[in-house]
A and B are shown apart, each in its own frame.
Chain A
């Protein structure tokens, strides 16, 4: 264990420089986020991930945000275990009908001000699962969405760009 710990101290950090916030995400947010809600939270957001029927691909990449390369917590972004502690809901999947009620309840359990980020192609419009009897088809058909992050699944860098845009916008540092 000592060797592993020492190496971590002596070797340079693996963490990579932050990517620039996504411009199209900033534009989308500018149109949606209430200015009154800005600057209330400082540069810190608590995120609650909700899988609304994804294939689990998006979850794998959301997980990756916490590894040493992306180190999401350095930006003041952190994942929390309950919607009641959250500022942001990160929602994946085509919203299966079996998850619709749970998603609505999670949204209602999240205190205001809150933001919803729809992650992945299915979360935008149902993606490849659109048209199924079992899917609602897009997060915005169930709860209001502030930001979409595209990709199947979006890479951790894409996720980070979107979330940094949200952080920048919310904290009013534009």
Chain B
């Protein structure tokens, strides 16, 4: 059965690739929401345009993906979030940027709009103003409750965001996040940008996932233009993506232990992370491997001494990492902090479609590298670790297992690298109307979605980037409930959600 079969449509959009997009009636939009509520579909993304909203969904049974579009003739659309809470922040964002009104919304407080831009609804193309009101946090009532306000400037070297804790003594009764501080207007800067500029913007959506974003952006452009990157280029892309995953997971494992006051692990994984970045610098000329992946392929081959640097890195990891895993496993004081702390219920992970280690530590068996099997992962062999416990410890173990898998993947790729073309030439223009493409790639923290529409001269008409964190941040609010405030840094680090990636 086709994913769109039971959804009443107005028309199919033929220029959308590789998955179908259909403009639907109100009944069709509601039918899609019905299936989200039942759990048959998972929400992959929800984004706006000045007069339309799009929803990307994935069928859990058939693994099909589709986009449904509702045209907002009257500036309104049927609210998704009022029936399916994972859509809430995305829906508030649509209202902030485009001024479209979800009806009937339970919560239409501003999300990204902190009344500092000097205008309202910046992507709507019209001049409308919005009432300025102080941000209202959700109420928590009861005896002996007190609030702790944290941020946007935090104690560590991390991104800015506001956390409002309501606590009873040490125990957290409710956490409410308020983000948007790093909103840079990336989607507006994308409009009209050349592919070169747009690719740079994409890889600076979240600097720790520079490779994954550039990868997804390139795949979306290639889907729209119906071209394929050469094999050698896809291997190099995956090589960089796995190096990025290694560096981030190593950093996270140490940082989580550090938040449990176990500095030795932090020092040791810090050394391994630095070795990854240095090897990346030797191989690709940039420690975070920014701007190497472009639509059509990659801008450069691996440096002549890059292969040796990476093999030396793998040898070092194989020698040192197992000892650190043993250290983690055998240190009771550390386990005391991580085991049963910050549990994410499997039901929430499923409903929110939480990707990455947050989902996989709570039983959600999804990894875009396997589910979408984009090149070159369709020809590489790897396992996707899944655990059920859902606590900080499980999120550490998923990372540990993924480090091992990434080491194996890099070895496979190095064995397959050879001489080969690096870039498929893009057509100078497409000589017809707009074309649309979408892609999902697996960043270290979960799946990144990029959707875009290009005009006839290959400029970006509209581009939406959806970080995995959209569906993970809300689960952090649930995970901390009933835990003590002192364990919040530990829980937060075990999620390591992106601020910049969701603030855009």
8 Å CB contacts to B: which residues of A139-173? 152-153, 155
Contact A59 B158 (CB under 8 A): yes
Given contacts A1-B331, A67-B271, A79-B157, contact A56 B117 (CB under 8 A): no
Contact B288 A60 (CB under 8 A): yes
Give the distance to chain B from A51, nearest Cβ to Cβ, in Å.
5
Given contacts A4-B323, A55-B204, contact A49 B185 (CB under 8 A): no
8 Å CB contacts to B: which residues of A1-24? 1, 3-5, 14
Contact A62 B116 (CB under 8 A): no
Secondary structure at chain A's binding surface: helix, strand, loop or mixed?
A: mixed
Q: How many residue pairs, one in A and one in B, have C-beta atoms under 8 Å apart?
A: 150
Residues of A within 8 A of B251 (CB): 60, 63
Interface residue? B287 (CB, 8 A):
yes
Interface centre among A67, A69, A79, A129 (most CB of B within 10 A): A67
Partner of A69, one of B180, B271, B281, B324: B271
Residues of A within 8 A of B186 (CB): 129, 132
Given contacts A4-B323, A99-B160, A101-B116, contact A55 B205 (CB under 8 A): yes
Partner of B153, one of A56, A57, A63, A83: A83
Contact B323 A153 (CB under 8 A): no
Interface residue? B156 (CB, 8 A):
yes
Interface residue? A97 (CB, 8 A):
yes
Contact B290 A56 (CB under 8 A): no
Contact A4 B324 (CB under 8 A): yes
Residues of A within 8 A of B207 (CB): 54-60, 153
Contact A134 B274 (CB under 8 A): no
Contact B288 A68 (CB under 8 A): no
Given contacts A102-B152, A133-B122, contact A51 B267 (CB under 8 A): no
8 Å CB contacts to A: which residues of B88-107? none
Residues of B within 8 A of A66 (CB): 270
Contact A62 B182 (CB under 8 A): no
Residues of A within 8 A of B444 (CB): none
A123 to B273, CA, bound (A): 25
Give the distance to chain A from B159, nearest Cβ to Cβ, in Å.
5
> Which A residue's beta carbon lies closest to that of B155?
A81
Partner of B152, one of A3, A69, A99, A134: A99
Residues of B within 8 A of A97 (CB): 114, 116-118
Contact A102 B160 (CB under 8 A): yes
Contact B288 A57 (CB under 8 A): yes
A98 to B270, CA, bound (A): 32
Contact B270 A135 (CB under 8 A): no
> Which B residue's beta carbon lies closest to that of A49?
B157
Residues of B within 8 A of A135 (CB): 184-185
Give the distance to chain A from B318, nearest Cβ to Cβ, in Å.
16
Interface string of B326-351 (1 = CB under 8 A from A): 01001100000000000000000000
Residues of A within 8 A of B324 (CB): 4
Residues of A within 8 A of B152 (CB): 99, 102
For the complex with contacts A51-B159, A102-B181, A133-B118, 11 further pairs of A-B residues with Cβ separation under 8 Å are A51-B182, A59-B158, A59-B207, A63-B157, A63-B251, A96-B182, A98-B180, A129-B186, A129-B189, A132-B186, A135-B184
Q: List 21 A-B contacts (CB under 8 A).
A: A14-B271, A51-B157, A53-B183, A53-B503, A55-B204, A55-B207, A56-B208, A63-B157, A67-B270, A68-B274, A82-B155, A96-B181, A98-B116, A98-B182, A102-B160, A106-B153, A129-B185, A129-B204, A132-B185, A133-B119, A133-B185
